[in-house]
Amino acid sequence: MLTGLGLRFDVEVPHVTEVRLSGEKADVYPERLAREKAAAGLVAWRGRGTDKPAVALAADTVVVAGDEVLEKPRDRADAERMLRILSGIEHRVITGVCVAATDSRSRSVVTRVRFADLSDAAIRYLVDSGDGDDKAGAYGIQGLAGAFIERIEGSFSNVVGLPMVETLVLLAEAGLRTPWA
């Protein structure tokens, strides 16, 4: 999505433990992870000996169904369990996004999504495709699962994993020049 807007960047994979803290609220968790990832990415970038100014961007997404936080599935059985939970219900997709430069700015964005009732065959199809293997809630709205979404309230790009409006605001606040500025 960023490349499509004409933004150039390097990818840094920070080593951050993705574990929800005891008692941590679902709407706080992904924003904390995004802050930790952005800080670690900035440290890694500066650790390469560059003195160029840098802006680090990180995001993390969870799906919340009732009180259950669904992250990336551990395996295909876990993916099937998640899709069974999401079948026919409305759930929340929460993405924390952080931009770190000389200081750090972050936001959480919530989008409500409702899946259609999924048949056993549809669940098997989605799970067997592997389309949701590395995605919170075991699905990607931009992939095969999008055909089973009845309704979305809020940011589509948030459900994809990066809320673009909020991200662009944070990047501008950090002083990043956009191609259209």
* pLDDT surpasses 80 at 153: yes
Alpha carbon distance 36, 20 (integer Å): 13
SS3 19: coil
Active site residues: 60
* pLDDT surpasses 80 at 147: yes
- At 85, which helix (H) or strand (E)? helix 76-86
Q: pLDDT per residue over 95-118, tens digit each?
A: 999 999 889 999 999 999 999 999
Domains of the chain listed by start with CATH number: 3-173 (3.90.950.10)
Residue 60 class from Cβ within 10 Å (0-12 exposed, 13-18 middle, 19+ buried)? buried
* pLDDT surpasses 80 at 55: yes
Q: Out of 10-24, 28-42, 109-123, 156-170, which region has the weakest mean confidence (pLDDT)?
A: 10-24
